Amino acid sequence: MSRTIITQNELKQYQAAGIFNGIKTMDGGFGGLTTPNVNMPAGILTQLSQHIVSIITRKRTADEVIGRRMKLLDFEQQDFLIPIIEGKGETSDYSDVGNAPIVGMNPTYIYTGHKRFSVNVVNGSLKNAQLAQARINGEAYNMSTGLERLAITFNDIAFTGVPGIPEGSKYPIYGVLNNPDLPAYQATETTTADATFEKFYKDVVGLIEEVISRAQGHVLPNSKMVLAISNRRNGLLSLINQIGNKSIKAAIAESYPNLTWVLAPELDGAYTGGLDVMYLRAESLDETEVKEKGLETDSLVDSAILGFSELARAGAVEVHSNYTLQTISSGSLGTIIPKPYMFGRRYFAS
């Protein structure tokens, strides 16, 4: 392959004409013939690997304690409401000429605001090139870190909501720990100083039976339930009965076979004064159970929802001389609880 050699005399002629001359050309280099593309499509520079996608979609403690995620509105929308319809009416004795009472309905609404939050993912050309020497994918690492931050904030809002009213919204956002519609906390008999199998078993069964009673047939002993307990109370699950042949988890499973235990660090010190708590959430009945029990189809509505608009909304990539910048955003509606009667709460007094 031939190569053209520029002589010293030719170089001087080119420089006299302004070529290769840092003073006579823009930014010390050749200006180019096409317009610089400052709005490069995001798809060219951003590729979400399977590992990064898993950060967005994988379950966290909130998913297990509260329930499934659900996209409820678009990112640009502000507030959200869920209508709750309750039938009302009564019967009277039959009469050929009398007027029977008219049935009706009592509509109420759950309102919630919309909290948007973002991170910037910046990739420097020199830094990523140096990381590549150590076989580290800097772009993937930066993106996964940004998505991790969004997921943590989403999880926090699911538990504690958002202080005040989010900007642009009319309504507050609640988490499962401060939702005013939930039943009041009750104190456990179990304490740190006096934690026995018998006492804790009584506390757990009392919590479950409270929810079963309140749900009036929509929750049964074999219904799916989640019992979330403070991490610091993990040792209570290992308590053994007096004969020494059965743990708390095994004993509870005999009467409530579809109950799942979840350890949640967010429940450490979650009650007033820093006291640990445990939550019971009964899950909605599936379609088969609804038909078997002859219940209304509204039993399919979730007892709680993790509402969102976006989990990871990618903005346009800004291309600069030595780095790129991209904003990744999420939108949360907190924890929406259409069926607060399917929850029960206890706190450990000490």
DSSP for 36-66 reads --SS--HHHH----HHHHHHHHS--HHHHHH
Q: Which residues, including other chains, have CB under 8 Å from residue 101's CB and lie 6 or more apart?
A: 89, 90, 91, 92
Side-chain-side CA neighbours of 131 within 13 Å: the count stands at: 13
Cβ pair 260, 226 in contact under 8 A: yes
Tokens matching residue 260: 């799942």
Cβ pair 306, 335 in contact under 8 A: yes
Report d(CA 265, CA 152) in Å as an integer. Answer: 13
At residue 301, φ and ψ (nearest 5 deg) are: -65, 135
Q: 126 or 41, which is more confident?
A: 126
Q: Give the percent of the chain with pLDDT over 90.
A: 45
Question: How many beta carbons lie within 10 A of that of residue 240, not counting itself?
Answer: 13
Give the containing element (helix H, strand E) for 174: none
Side-chain-side CA neighbours of 186 within 13 Å: the count stands at: 16
Give the containing element (helix H, strand E) for 133: helix 125-133
Convert the pLDDT of each residue in 210-221 to its tens digit: 999 998 888 889
Tokens matching residue 327: 């904003």
Convert the pLDDT of each residue in 149-197 to its tens digit: 999 999 999 999 999 888 888 899 999 999 999 999 999 999 999 999 9
pLDDT at 208: 95
Question: How many beta carbons lie within 10 A of that of residue 156, not counting itself?
Answer: 16
Convert the pLDDT of each residue in 133-161 to its tens digit: 988 888 888 888 888 899 999 999 999 99
What is the per-residue burial (b if ≥16 Cβ within 10 Å, else e) of 281-312?
Answer: bbbbbeeebbeeeeeeeebeebbbbbbbbbbb
Which stretches does DSSP call E strand in 74-148?
Answer: 80-88, 104-112, 115-124
Q: Which residues pair with 350 in a beta bridge?
A: none
What is the DSSP secondary-structure string of 182-231? Answer: SPPPEE-S--SSS--HHHHHHHHHHHHHHHHHHHTTSS-TTS-EEEEEEG
Q: 139 or 89, which is more confident?
A: 139
Domains of the chain: 1-33 (no CATH), 45-89+100-350 (3.90.1690)
Q: What is the pTM of this model?
A: 0.76
List own/partner pairs for 233-238 with CB under 8 A and 24 or more apart: 233/276, 233/278, 233/348, 234/263, 235/195, 236/190, 236/195, 236/200, 237/261
pLDDT at 52: 63
Check the CA dihedral 338-341-342-343 and report its sign. Answer: positive
Give the containing element (helix H, strand E) for 260: strand 259-264
| Residue 213 burial (10 A CB sphere; 0-12, 13-18, 19+) | exposed
Q: Give the percent of the chain with pLDDT over 70.
A: 77
Q: Which residues, including other chains, have CB under 8 Å from residue 188's CB and lie 6 or more apart?
A: 199, 200, 203, 278, 346, 347, 348, 349
Report d(CA 330, CA 47) in Å as an integer. Answer: 18
Residue type, 317: V
